[in-house]
Amino acid sequence: MNLRKVLIFAIAALAAVLLAFALVKGVRLFTGTTSAPGGAVVATAGAAIGGPLTLTDSGGKRVTDADFRGRYVLIYFGYTFCPDVCPTELQAMGRALDLLGPAGEKIVPVFISVDPARDTPETLGKYVRAFHPRMIGLSGSDDDIARAAKAFRVYYRLGRPSAPGAKDYLVDHTSFIYLMGPDGKLAVLLRGGAGAEAIAQGIRSVLP
Amino acid sequence: MRFRSFFGAAVFALAFVPAVSAHDYSKGKMVVDHPWARATIGTARPGVVYLALINEGKVADKLLSAATPVAARVEIHRSFMEGNVMRMAPVDGVEVAAGRTVEFAPGGLHLMLMGLNKELAAGDRVSLTLVFEKAGRIQAKVTVMPMGAGAHGGGMKH
């Protein structure tokens, strides 16, 4: 057997494998998780996040995920007693929508409370409008919230108040921003704390 | 105008400069820079104050506590991520090393104003007293920004 021929064949085969691998990886990089400045994107379409939810808006109306079909919806789960992170994220979301210009006008910003005992649907309305005029605040029964949180894989845990019966407990919670597509499925998952520009970039990267 | 009275007038005017420079407050070598708060809706929710502590001296100092007439108590808190979970915990004093700056900014250290007795309205200037181990008490005026305001002064660091 001609050793040289075998060697050339082996190298060619190896090169082909490496090229194929690089192409597949490269394609994945282009269509998968693009890195926004500050790296806000955590996952894109395909993640099993989202699902049926039934909550109450600040007018007392029952809202379901079906009501959002056909729209892009930008969702944050938090609570209004939180003085630091939640206002910061909501402000960043509102600002991100403004940065997106006409594309942002098609997106519905939604704040879902993980603290329905203090965040009644009525009190949420005024709160969310401080961050964006179109932002919708949703709350409901403990059960409504638990189901919504489960659909979005949101973890939340009420802490202990300073004294029995005091209403000053804090709430630990996961901090992500979810962009749901017109089909009701996750379009992009963004991590909290990334800032308005990174959120806008993450959204822009998946809008048609 | 006679020199004496002009000079006197100038010195007199200079005495007011610290009061009208409006955004930082110092005592000894400790500077409290740009304290700002978010507006609240009513008094049911706690207020938040952000600022920077600048230690211009050669000795470390420590923020021990704070107080304000508009709230029952002020707590020092730190927001932090534990895995994917956002948490907040009280902090028992914040050290500021010599020559260093410690930022209280969204997503990190912040002062929580618990038990507000007055709504914080955008545009308000709220009195805040910070108590340091070495510098003692520093009186500051906190500027209240709209609820939807982004980071003020030092800004968010990434």
Query: Hey, CA dihedral for B53, B58, B60, B66, is it positive or negative?
Result: negative
**A155 neighbourhood in chain B, CB within 8 Å:** 84-85
Between CA B34 and CA B53 the distance in angstroms is 9
Which residues are within 8 A (CB) of A129 and not within 5 positions of it... i.e. 6 or more apart?
A135
Grouped pLDDT means (10 residues each) for chain A, 208 residues: 80 70 45 47 78 94 96 97 95 97 96 97 93 97 97 96 93 96 94 93 92
With cut-offs at 50, 70 and 90, classify the pLDDT of residue B157.
very low
Contacts of A38 in chain B (CB under 8 A): 158
pLDDT at B7 over 90: no
pLDDT of residue A7: 81
More confident residue, A126 or B8: A126
CATH class of B23-145: mainly beta
In the predicted model, is pLDDT for residue B14 greater than 50? yes
Mean pLDDT of B124-143: 97
- pLDDT confidence of residue B21: 53
Contacts of B85 (CB under 8 A, 6+ apart): A155, A172, A173, A174, A175
* Nearest residue to A188 via CA among A162, A207, A169, A175: A207
pLDDT of res. A142? 97
Q: Indicate the residue of A84, A170, A176 with minimum beta-carbon distance to B106.
A: A84
What was the pLDDT predicted at B31?
97
3-state helix, strand, coil in chain B (%, to 5): 10, 50, 40
Question: What does the pLDDT read at residue A2?
Answer: 80
pLDDT of A96 reads 97
Amino acid at B72: A
Stretch B121-146: mean pLDDT? 97
pLDDT at B8 over 90: no
Which ipTM was obtained for this model?
0.81
B9 DSSP 8-state letter: H
Cβ B22 vs Cβ B142: under 8 Å: no
Nearest-angstrom CA–CA distance, A120 and A115: 9
Q: What is the pLDDT of residue B84?
A: 87
Contact A174 B84 (CB under 8 A): yes
Q: Residue B32, class by beta-carbon neighbours within 10 Å (0-12 exposed, 13-18 middle, 19+ buried)?
A: buried
pLDDT band for position B110 (50/70/90)? Answer: very high
B150: pLDDT confidence band, cut at 50, 70 and 90?
A: confident
Provide the percentage of residues in chain B whose pLDDT is more than 90.
77
Residue B116 reports pLDDT greater than 90: yes
Q: In this complex, do B88 and A170 lie within 8 Å of one another by their Cβ atoms?
A: yes
Pick the residue from chain B with its C-alpha nearest to A154: B85
Residue B152 pLDDT: 55
Of B41, B46, B86, the CB nearest to A172: B86
> Does B86 contact A132 at a Cβ distance shorter than 8 Å?
no
**A94/B148 CB distance under 8 A:** yes
Specify the residue for token string 């005029």: A133
Query: What's the confidence (pLDDT) of residue A29?
Result: 34
Question: Do B85 and A173 make contact, defined as CB atoms within 8 angstroms?
Answer: yes
Chain B positions in Cβ-Cβ contact with residue A196 (cut-off 8 Å): 150
A contacts of B107 (beta carbons < 8 Å):
84-85, 88, 193
| Least confident range of A190-199, B108-117, B126-135 | A190-199
Residue closest to B77 by CA, chosen among B63, B93, B91, B95: B91
> Domain limits of chain B?
23-145
